[in-house]
Structure 1
Amino acid sequence: MTLEILTLDSLPAKHGFFTRRGGASSGVFSGLNCGHGSTDQAEIVAINRARVAEAMGVAPDHLLGVHQVHSPTAIVVDSPMPEKPRADALVTATPGLALSVLSADCQPVLFADAQAGVIGAAHAGWRGALDGVLEATVDAMETLGAARENVVAVIGPSISQRAYEVGPEFMDSFMDNDPDFARYFINGTGDRLLFDLPGFGLNRLRAAGVGHAEWTRHCTFSDPDRFYSYRRATHAKEADYGRLIAAITL
């Protein structure tokens, strides 16, 4: 099966939000699992990642990523890295490198300033988004000459509000930061609430001053044929789950 790659005309750099279709993994990982942090066979994950690198037009070792830790840390890269640093976003102005992030409900966010020739990729779960990883990515792009008003940012497939049930203590984490964040929550069953992660991400990007921000409007939880989902796997009591990849290159 060929790879399925979601792209947007608004993002002015070669990029792709890859679905799970077209990979070599099997079982609960069936498809294009690109996460070495999963319990999938390492050699199969390497095959999947090589297919992504080929689709992006780079060598496998030029498909760069980080050891994601739900942090607000963004790093500047200009060459392949021997080891993955602990961070949640990368930016570069170096052609021939593909920046990538993994996700399975969290937001994969790709950035580009075509005029400056600067790109970025961020992994933004609720903690990273709340702590400022999206703003940190734009700040790092500025150090390479990007202008935030020229930056286009796109949020890829993520868990949607209708599927993201949380408890009141989760909402408290946001309210302690800014009471206005209550607008990203609606009532669920009992004391449960439903959180709008992509809506929150879009707000943070727009508040950071990017020129254009949008979400692809794909829900990872609700489409098992196309997307991996940590929450769906947890509900199904599966032993593990695959990781989707999003990538961008100059």
Structure 2
Amino acid sequence: MEVVRSAGLAGVAHGFLGRRGGVSQGAVAGLNVGLGSADDPAAVAENRARAAAAVLPGARLVGLYQVHSPTCVVAGDWAEADRPHADALVTDRPGLLLGILTADCAPVLFADVAAGVVGAAHAGWKGAFTGVCEATVAAMEKLGARAERITAAIGPCIAQSSYEVDETFRQRFVQAGEWQETHFLLGREGHWQFDLSAYVAHRIRAAGVVRIDPLNIDTYLNEDRFFSFRRSTHQACADYGRQISLIGLD
């Protein structure tokens, strides 16, 4: 099993996991943790248990029903069937392991070590655009964190060179005043290459966080290491896997 860690979150139980080390077969072979995939539920449950044990043994894994929203909630003891519709969660409780699923979107893990508060966000373009990162920082602050003390690590996600978008996509950002030249590079005619990681970092900085660690690992190109929704779509696969990013307090 491969667990990618951020130097900025050293001392905090966390990890960005990929597809290596799991029991799933077929199109989602490896460590598929997607409850919404067509995978065998028993395989998904085993993969989730392995992932949690690799990061914080004995902790309770808490996840969400992700909907590409800006909504952040305080982690609770809900059953998997009762997961709230949200895309970020925070906690100050030891023994809870926050889990975010991705398959090209950016997973972001947050920690204020001094306050004992952590958070995790699923930041696709839509969630980042509507404020999921800012909502996560605000929720952490309500638990006693301070933005200037928070470290945020941006995990493996689709890279700019792999993320082609059209002019209509870019215009959303331009019209909202969120356009920056570094976020969009001109590609083939009528298309642009979008830098999701850089845009997410921009939104995190807007929330007052100054310590940001982008890992700059491309999920699309690294087929043996990570699942990718866009790659699976381009390959006309019937299903796609999801990887998990985790953070918790001892």
Q: Is 1:139–2:138 an aligned residue pair?
A: yes
8 Å contact kept, 2:6–2:213? no
How many Å separate the matches in 2 of 1:179 and 1:136?
17
2:103 is aligned to 104
Query: Could you list the runs of 5+ residues in structure 2 that have no partner in the other structure?
Result: none
Q: Is 1:31–2:30 an aligned residue pair?
A: yes
Q: Deviations over 1:88-136 (max 9, x none)?
A: 0000000000001000000000000000000000000000000000000
Give the 3-state SS of the residue equivalent to 1:245 in structure 2: strand
Aligned length: 246
How many Å separate the matches in 1 of 2:163 and 2:180?
16
Q: Deviations over 1:123-168 (max 9, x none)?
A: 0000000000000000000000001000000000000000000111
How many Å separate the matches in 1 of 2:178 and 2:138?
25
CA distance 1:69–1:179, change in 2 (3 Å): closer
Query: Could you list the runs of 5+ residues in structure 1 that have no partner in the other structure?
Result: none
Give the 3-state SS of the residue equivalent to 1:175 in structure 2: helix
How many Å separate the matches in 2 of 1:168 and 1:212?
32
Identity among equivalent positions (%) equals: 49
Q: Describe how 1:164-179 pairs up with structure 2 within 5 A.
A: 164-178=163-177
How many Å separate the matches in 1 of 2:109 and 2:101?
12
2:238 is aligned to 239
2:186 is aligned to 187
How many Å separate the matches in 1 of 2:177 and 2:48?
39
Give the 3-state SS of the residue equivalent to 2:7 in structure 1: coil
Task: Give me the TM-score of the superposition, normalised by structure 2.
Answer: 0.96
Report deviation, 1:58. Answer: 4.1
2:85 is aligned to 86
Give the 3-state SS of the residue equivalent to 1:10 in structure 2: helix
8 Å contact kept, 1:95–1:249? yes
How many Å separate the matches in 2 of 1:139 and 1:115?
16
Report deviation, 1:53. Answer: 1.7
Task: Give me the TM-score of the superposition, normalised by structure 1.
Answer: 0.96
Moved more, 49-58 or 193-202: 49-58
Report deviation, 1:199. Answer: 0.5
Moved over 3 A (4+): 179-183
How many Å separate the matches in 2 of 1:33 and 1:198?
23
1:73 is aligned to 71
2:118 is aligned to 119
Report deviation, 1:9. Answer: 2.2
2:207 is aligned to 208
How many Å separate the matches in 1 of 2:43 and 2:159?
29
Q: Deviations over 1:194-238 (max 9, x none)?
A: 101001011111121113012111000010000000000000000
* Cα-Cα RMSD: 1.2
Q: Which AA in structure 1 matches 2:226?
A: F
8 Å contact kept, 2:8–2:213? no
8 Å contact kept, 1:102–1:108? yes
